[in-house]
Chains A and B, each alone.
Chain A
Amino acid sequence: MNSLELINVRKAYGKTPVLDDISLALEPREFVAFLGPSGSGKSTLLRIIAGLETADAGEVRLDGRRIDQLPPGDRGVAMVFQHYALYPHMTVRGNMAFGLKNAHVPPAEIAARVAEAARILEIEAHLDKRPGQLSGGQRQRVAIGRAIVKHPRLFLLDEPLSNLDAALRMRTRLELADLRQRVDAAFVMVTHDQAEAMTLADRIVVMNDRRIQQVGAPMEIYLRPANSFVARFVGSPAMNLLPVEPVANGALVRVRLGDGAEVETRVALNGFGGGTLELGLRPENVEVTAPGGGTTDAKVELVERLGERTLVYAKLRSGDEITGEDEGNSRVRVGDVVGLRIKGERAHLFDAQGVGHHAEAGA
Chain B
Amino acid sequence: MNRDRMPPLALVLTLVGAAAMVAPLVWTVLLSLKSNAELLQDTGAAFRGPYTLENYGAILKGDMVFRWLLNSLIVSLGTTAGVLALSSLAGFAFARLDFPFRRTLFVFVLLGLAIPEQAVILPQHRLFAWLGLHNSYPGLILPGLVGSFGVFFMTQYFRGLPRDLDEAAALDGASTFQIFARVLLPLTVPAQATLGVFTFLGSWNAYWWPLISATTSDRFTLTVGLASAQANYAQTNGLGYLMAQAVFASLPILIVYVLFQRQIVNAIGGAVK
Question: Do these two chains really belong together in a complex?
Answer: yes
Q: Show the binding face of A for B, using Cβ within 8 Å.
A: 50-52, 71-74, 77-79, 81, 83-89, 98-99, 102-103, 146, 150
Cβ of B218 within 8 Å of any chain A Cβ, yes or no, is no
> Which residue in chain A gives the minimum CB-CB distance to B167?
A52
B172 engages A81 (CB within 8 Å): no
Cβ of B173 within 8 Å of any chain A Cβ, yes or no, is yes
A50 engages B178 (CB within 8 Å): no
Inter-chain contacts of A99 with B (CB < 8 A): 171-174
A78 engages B171 (CB within 8 Å): yes
Cβ of B162 within 8 Å of any chain A Cβ, yes or no, is yes
B174 engages A102 (CB within 8 Å): yes
Measured CA separation A87–B165 after assembly (Å): 7
B50 to chain A, nearest CB (A): 56
> Which residue in chain A gives the minimum CB-CB distance to B174?
A102
B173 engages A81 (CB within 8 Å): no
Choose among B170, B171, B173, B183 the residue that contacts A87 (Cβ–Cβ < 8 A).
Answer: B183
B173 engages A73 (CB within 8 Å): yes
Cβ of B164 within 8 Å of any chain A Cβ, yes or no, is yes
Map CB proximity to A onto B167-209 as digits: 1 under 8 Å, 0 otherwise. Answer: 1111111100010001100110000000000000000000000
Measured CA separation A202–B170 after assembly (Å): 29
A83 engages B162 (CB within 8 Å): yes
Q: Show the binding face of B for A, using Cβ within 8 Å.
A: 162, 164-165, 167-174, 178, 182-183, 186-187
Inter-chain contacts of B168 with A (CB < 8 A): 79, 81, 85-87, 146
A50 engages B173 (CB within 8 Å): no
Inter-chain contacts of B164 with A (CB < 8 A): 81, 83-85
Inter-chain contacts of A71 with B (CB < 8 A): 170, 173
B165 engages A73 (CB within 8 Å): no
Choose among B171, B182, B183 the residue that contacts A73 (Cβ–Cβ < 8 A).
Answer: B171
Inter-chain contacts of B173 with A (CB < 8 A): 71-74, 99, 102-103
B172 engages A102 (CB within 8 Å): yes
Inter-chain contacts of A98 with B (CB < 8 A): 169, 172, 174, 182
Q: A83-B164, A85-B164 are in contact. Are A52 and B186 (CB under 8 A)?
A: no
Inter-chain contacts of A51 with B (CB < 8 A): 170-171
A355 to chain B, nearest CB (A): 38
A102 engages B178 (CB within 8 Å): yes
**15 A-B contacts (beta carbon < 8 Å):** A50-B171, A71-B173, A72-B170, A73-B170, A73-B174, A79-B171, A81-B167, A83-B162, A84-B164, A85-B165, A87-B165, A87-B183, A99-B174, A102-B178, A146-B172
Measured CA separation A146–B170 after assembly (Å): 13
Measured CA separation A210–B244 after assembly (Å): 76
A230 to chain B, nearest CB (A): 30
Inter-chain contacts of B165 with A (CB < 8 A): 85, 87
> Which residue in chain A gives the minimum CB-CB distance to B172?
A99
Inter-chain contacts of A84 with B (CB < 8 A): 164
Measured CA separation A73–B166 after assembly (Å): 12
B68 to chain A, nearest CB (A): 39
> Which residue in chain B gives the minimum CB-CB distance to A50?
B171
Measured CA separation A81–B164 after assembly (Å): 7
Q: A81-B164, A83-B162, A83-B164 are in contact. Are A88 and B187 (CB under 8 A)?
A: yes
Inter-chain contacts of A83 with B (CB < 8 A): 162, 164
Measured CA separation A51–B171 after assembly (Å): 8
Choose among A74, A78, A85 the residue that contacts B167 (Cβ–Cβ < 8 A).
Answer: A85
B75 to chain A, nearest CB (A): 31
A161 to chain B, nearest CB (A): 17
Inter-chain contacts of B183 with A (CB < 8 A): 87
Inter-chain contacts of A79 with B (CB < 8 A): 167-168, 171
Inter-chain contacts of B186 with A (CB < 8 A): 89
A84 to chain B, nearest CB (A): 8
Q: A81-B164, A102-B178 are in contact. Are A52 and B172 (CB under 8 A)?
A: no
Measured CA separation A79–B174 after assembly (Å): 14
Given contacts A72-B171, A79-B171, A84-B164, 9 further A-B contacts (CB under 8 A): A52-B167, A71-B173, A79-B167, A85-B168, A87-B168, A89-B187, A98-B172, A98-B182, A146-B172
A117 to chain B, nearest CB (A): 14
B161 to chain A, nearest CB (A): 10
B173 to chain A, nearest CB (A): 3
Inter-chain contacts of A146 with B (CB < 8 A): 168, 172
Inter-chain contacts of A102 with B (CB < 8 A): 172-174, 178
Measured CA separation A362–B136 after assembly (Å): 94
Inter-chain contacts of B172 with A (CB < 8 A): 73, 98-99, 102, 146, 150
Measured CA separation A98–B186 after assembly (Å): 14
B189 to chain A, nearest CB (A): 8
Measured CA separation A150–B168 after assembly (Å): 13
B92 to chain A, nearest CB (A): 16
Inter-chain contacts of A72 with B (CB < 8 A): 167, 170-171, 173
Measured CA separation A177–B172 after assembly (Å): 24
Inter-chain contacts of A88 with B (CB < 8 A): 187
> Which residue in chain B gives the minimum CB-CB distance to A85?
B164
Measured CA separation A85–B162 after assembly (Å): 8
Measured CA separation A350–B183 after assembly (Å): 52
Top 8 nearest A-B pairs by Cβ distance? A73-B173, A99-B172, A85-B164, A102-B173, A85-B168, A89-B186, A72-B170, A72-B171
> Which residue in chain B gives the minimum CB-CB distance to A82?
B164
Inter-chain contacts of A87 with B (CB < 8 A): 165, 168-169, 183
Measured CA separation A150–B174 after assembly (Å): 14
